[in-house]
């Protein structure tokens, strides 16, 4: 199954379809699964921001749960979910892993969860003699599973398998080294820490100004394969994005990693593109001017100074960066204060959407009606997708207010 130029493309919508169809596909990748059931397995999702998967930003908890369940049911006992989240959140001491409830999902399914920002670094070569530290857990895993989100990306053109590996870097001090030569160093990470398997989440993808300020696209698709370059080419074709505008793929092609045979194979692979081209990642004029390759190195020199980092912590300067698209995230320090969820039964039409999106398979909406929520991990997927707004949140949304402001109506309509 790991033959060259192969991939599996799965169409699915509900939690049950994701689990059933993914398990059927993964069972055919037995030649890359370790024989030792105590082998070290690391699952590396995309947790770029505290905006959940339904915005098109981060790896879907339902997909992550499906992978964990497949591995557990295959007898594996040493499973870890690990991610080195966005350096801005790391710098602000905000745990994206906790906000997205990934740690609670891992606890529910009996696996480990770590923030790779705090791991022991293993040095790999970057451009111009620079070395950067990736998490030793990634390098030493017997099975490294990369689980990127399919998104357009302002700087790289698109982020799929290749760019997701930036999250293997330890802390801000190593992540900022990537931007000294972004596309080339993304390829350097891939070549020096190659995952064994890639599972691409395009259930809710993102178009436009990704990786955070874009628009979700409900594509109901999962890509599975072992070659990250081939999968990224397929993802570009799926989204009708020109691979010549995806900078890591350009670098890989110049280095001879991507040969014409691979490009041809991707072009001829049986794939139905999404119903329309994804909107390109177009930023405002200031960000576009500054991030031009001829000027970006000067901006990076300023950005990495202590004074600039101090300015980034002030509300006024942070808002200015966000408004000009020089920063895509809003680093809200206010945590969610959870008091519960209730069901307005008079509004509920039993559509079943809440059950389709629950990553821990609660019997919704009945569990809400009965207040039988002991196993709820507080991910709020059911709250976000309910088309009738029959599920009510009790407490303070905190950082989730930003997501609701940008995406609430959009997500309910698409889901």
User: What is the sign, positive or negative, of the torsion defined by CA atoms of 258, 131, 198, 377?
Assistant: negative
Q: Is the pLDDT of residue 254 over 60?
A: yes
Name the pLDDT band for 91 (thresholds 50, 70, 90): confident
Which is nearest to 182 in space by CA: 147, 225, 213, 153?
Answer: 153
The mean pLDDT value for 213-238 works out to: 97
Confidence of residue 5 (pLDDT cuts 50, 70, 90): confident
Question: How would you write the chain as a 3-class SS string?
Answer: CCCCCCEEEEECCCHHHHHHHHHHHHHHHHHHCCCCCCCCEEEEECCCCCCCHHHCCCCCHHHHHHHHHHHHHCCCCCEEEEECCCHHHHHCCCCHHHHCCHHHHHHHCCCEEEEHHHCCEEEEECHHHCEEEEEHHHHHCCEEEEECEEEEECCCEEECHHHHHHHHECHHHHHHHHHHHHHHHHHHHHHHCCCCEEEEEEEEEEECCCCCCCEEEEEEEEEEECCHHHHHHHHHHHCCCCHHHCHHHHHHHHCCCCCHHHHHHHHHCCCCCCCCCCCCCCCCHHHHHHCCHHHHHHHHHHHCCHHHHHHHCCHHHHHHHHHCCCCCCCCCCCCCEEEEEEECCCCCCCCCHHHHHCCCCCCCCHHHHHCCCCCCCCCCHHHHHCCCCCEEEEEECCCHHHHHHHHHHHHHHHC
Spatial contact of 182 and 153, defined as CB atoms under 8 Å apart: no
* pLDDT number for residue 281: 87
Question: Which comes out higher in pLDDT, residue 128 or 90?
Answer: 128
pTM: 0.91
Half-sphere exposure of 29 (CA within 13 A, CB side): 27
- What is the mean predicted confidence (pLDDT) over 342-349? 96
Structure tokens at 311: 């300015």
Q: What percent of the chain has pLDDT over 70?
A: 87
* pLDDT of the residue at 164: 97
Domains, the chain, in order of start with CATH, read 7-281 (3.40.50.11440), 284-324 (no CATH), 337-396 (3.30.70)
Predicted local confidence at residue 1, as pLDDT: 47
Minimal CA–CA distance to 277: which of 207, 200, 205?
207
Cα(76)–Cα(69) distance, rounded to whole angstroms?
A: 10
State the residue for tokens 């745990």. Answer: 95
Pick from 6-15, 243-252, 288-297: least confident: 288-297
pLDDT at residue 371, rounded to an integer: 96
Q: pLDDT tens digit string along 283-323?
A: 666 555 555 555 555 555 666 666 656 666 666 655 665 55
Residue 193 is predicted with a pLDDT of 96
Q: What is residue 410's predicted lDDT score, i.e. its pLDDT?
A: 96
Digit-coded pLDDT (tens) for 185-223: 999 999 999 999 999 999 999 999 888 889 999 999 999
Q: Specify burial of residue 1 (Cβ count, 10 A radius: 0-12, 13-18, 19+).
A: middle
Average pLDDT over residues 16-21: 97
Statement: residue 80 has pLDDT above 90? yes
Q: Are 122 and 203 in contact (CB under 8 A)?
A: no
22-36, 75-89, 279-293, range with the lowest pLDDT: 279-293
Q: Are 239 and 202 in contact (CB under 8 A)?
A: no
Say if residues 40 and 25 touch (Cβ distance below 8 Å).
no
- Average pLDDT in the chain: 91
Task: Summarize pLDDT for 46-67 with one digit per residue, the tens.
Answer: 998 999 999 999 999 999 999 9
């Amino acid at each position: 199954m790991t033959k060259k130029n192969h991939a599996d493309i799965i169409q699915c919508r509900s939690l049950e379809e994701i689990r059933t169809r993914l398990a059927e596909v993964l069972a055919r990748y037995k030649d890359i699964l370790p024989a030792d059931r105590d082998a070290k397995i690391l699952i590396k999702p995309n947790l770029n921001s505290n905006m959940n998967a339904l915005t098109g930003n981060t790896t879907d908890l339902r997909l992550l749960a499906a992978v964990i369940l497949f591995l557990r049911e295959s007898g594996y006992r040493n499973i870890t979910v690990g991610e080195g989240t966005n350096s801005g959140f790391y710098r602000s001491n905000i745990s994206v892993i906790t906000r997205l409830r990934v740690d609670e999902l891992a606890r529910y399914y009996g696996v480990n969860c770590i923030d790779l920002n705090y791991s022991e670094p293993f040095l790999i070569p970057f451009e111009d003699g620079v070395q950067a530290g990736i998490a030793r857990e990634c390098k030493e895993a017997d099975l490294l599973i990369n689980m990127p989100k399919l998104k357009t990306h302002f700087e790289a053109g698109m982020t799929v398998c290749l760019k997701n590996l930036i999250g293997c870097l330890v802390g801000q001090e190593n992540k900022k080294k990537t931007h000294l030569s972004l596309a080339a160093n993304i390829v350097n990470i891939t070549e020096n820490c190659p995952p064994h398997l890639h599972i691409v989440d395009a259930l809710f993808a993102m178009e436009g100004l990704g990786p955070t300020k874009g628009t979700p696209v409900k594509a109901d698709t999962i890509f599975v394969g072992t070659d990250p370059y081939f999968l990224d080419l397929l993802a570009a074709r799926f989204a009708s994005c020109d691979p010549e505008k995806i900078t890591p793929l350009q670098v890989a092609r110049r280095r001879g990693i991507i040969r014409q045979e691979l490009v041809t194979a991707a072009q001829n692979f049986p794939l139905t593109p999404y119903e329309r081209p994804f909107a390109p990642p177009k930023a405002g004029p200031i960000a576009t001017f500054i991030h031009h390759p001829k000027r970006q190195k000067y901006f990076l020199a300023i950005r990495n100074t202590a004074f600039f980092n101090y300015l980034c912590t002030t509300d006024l300067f942070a808002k200015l960066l966000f408004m000009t698209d020089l920063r895509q995230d809003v680093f809200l320090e206010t945590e969610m204060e959870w008091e519960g969820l209730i069901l307005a039964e008079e509004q509920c039409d039993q559509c079943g959407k809440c059950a389709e999106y629950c990553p821990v398979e609660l019997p919704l909406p009945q569990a809400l009606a009965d207040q039988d929520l002991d196993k709820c991990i507080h991910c709020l997927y059911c709250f976000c997708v309910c088309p009738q707004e029959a599920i009510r949140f009790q407490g303070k949304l905190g950082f989730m207010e930003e997501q609701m402001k940008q995406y609430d109506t959009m997500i309910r309509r698409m889901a």
